[in-house]
Structure 1
Amino acid sequence: MAAVDWRAVPRKLRALEPVFTMDKTQATIILCGFYLFFSFAGNVAATKVTFFGKLVMDAGFIYSLTFTWRDLIHKQLGKKAAITTIWLAAAINLCAALYFQFVVVLPAEPSWADAGGQAAWQFLFGIISPAEAGAWWQTIFSLQLRIVLGSIITALIAELVDTHVYHLWTTGIGRNRPQWSRVFVSNSISIPVDSVLFPLIAFSGIISATAMREMFYTNVMVKAIITLLVFWTIYLVPEKPLYKGDL
């Protein structure tokens, strides 16, 4: 089909002009690629627990972007694409964690090991020694693997909840509401779910209950702030996408 010359279209009809002059494959790669990056980088960074004054949280706060970015995928590509991306992110993170386990057991070059490299990998990605572990499940999973499994379980639950709430809002009472409202409504449900599940799964037995409680409040606050900073990105993609290949 021949391309449309939008300059020749009457001004009243120019609202139909697409936001992106790209095809659906390009849009899919860009949106899903960034989501996978936010998820993977957040999982790796979450191995560090940090604090700012009395605020305690893991360092994987880049993961907070996935909540709003999931909404962009849902809006642009549909509910099935959003769910598929959520499951794909879970599979990638799990495969990466298992590969890191394999890397740990590979023979280490002596000078690198003496410099602390092997010990660092063993702590982050290796099997926790039974002598250092508490509960039985801590003897099986490394810190990184626990974090990844915790993140996978948490993300699947929280992001699927986000997907369901977003779908209900955009097809029901919020259908004619401003687009930013769908971001706040879906995130207001999924963020607390994510923030309470992740510390329990990933850090139980490693940090104190007080630290986990502070981590929950901090995570909710940080993710809410990030939502306030990036909610406008929902307008980066058109409501009813018109791709270059459709013209």
Structure 2
Amino acid sequence: MRPTPAVFSAADDRSEPYGQGWTRATLGAAAVYITAVLIANATAETFIPLPFFGLVSVGTLFFGLTFTQRDRVHRAGKRQVYTMLGVTAVLATLESLLLDVPWRIILASCLAILLAEAADTEVYHRLRRHGWYARVAGSNAVSIPLDSLIFTVTAFAGVFSAAMIVEIVWGDIVAKGAVGMLAALWRG
């Protein structure tokens, strides 16, 4: 009889299959991921102040979903994750052309996706022998700060002051972390 972990026993399955190819569940997660990125890009320049310190872009509230959705797509395999990221970059470019989203936002989004999400993918796959929450928390601990820093500096350097950029990075890390972990509670 296999011992049951003390916490998250029902949802902490370490035997989750990898490289199973596209399924309805992983395609659905990819669709949510792509949609969240596109909405985040379109709303990236609208901010909400946090109560004590920090600013959160409305786009961040949507983008926070992407970290856990991408973790769900990992079930399909690394190649599928990288395919999803490529499709997202193409659609973000089209979005900029059609909706007049500033190119600095699209460039920042694509650069952050390329670097932070590649790091997330590699960390997640190294943790695949661990439970779901450990994989999500471990990969998000790397990708969320990296994504927040890359996106914010690339999108807003020269537009906002350094102090405001620090507030945005901090607010983004807090919001993305919270949304990502809440999304992880649903194992779908």
TM-score by length of 2: 0.82
Give the gaps of 5 or more residues in structure 2: 1-21
1:16-54 deviation line (CA, Å, top 9, x unaligned) = xxxxxxxx5534542221111111011101122332343
Q: Report the counterpart of residue 81 of structure 1 in structure 2.
A: 80
Q: Report the counterpart of residue 166 of structure 1 in structure 2.
A: 124
Distance 1:45 1:80 in 2: 29
Q: Report the counterpart of residue 5 of structure 1 in structure 2.
A: none
What CA RMSD, in Å, does the superposition of the two structures yield over aligned residues? 1.8
Partner secondary structure for residue 60 of structure 1: helix
Q: Report the counterpart of residue 174 of structure 2 in structure 1.
A: 221
Give the gaps of 5 or more residues in structure 1: 1-23, 102-124, 126-143, 237-247
Given the superposition, is the C-alpha separation of residues 49 and 71 from structure 1 closer, same or farther in structure 2, using an over 3 Å criterion? same
Following TM superposition, by how much is the alpha carbon of 1:99 offset from its aligned partner in structure 2, in angstroms?
2.8
Which structure has the greater CA radius of gyration?
1
Partner secondary structure for residue 57 of structure 1: strand
Distance 1:67 1:80 in 2: 17
1:157 aligns with 2:155: no
1:207 aligns with 2:160: yes
Distance 2:65 2:123 in 1: 17
Distance 1:163 1:210 in 2: 31
Distance 2:125 2:23 in 1: 23
Supply the AA of the counterpart residue of 1:178.
G
Partner secondary structure for residue 185 of structure 2: helix
Partner secondary structure for residue 206 of structure 1: coil
Given the superposition, is the C-alpha separation of residues 227 and 26 from structure 1 closer, same or farther in structure 2, using an over 3 Å criterion? closer
Partner secondary structure for residue 50 of structure 1: strand
Distance 2:48 2:78 in 1: 35
Does the 8 A contact of 2:33 with 2:66 survive in 1? yes
Percent identity, please. 30
1:182 aligns with 2:135: yes
| Aligned residue among 19, 38, 54 for 2:36 | 38
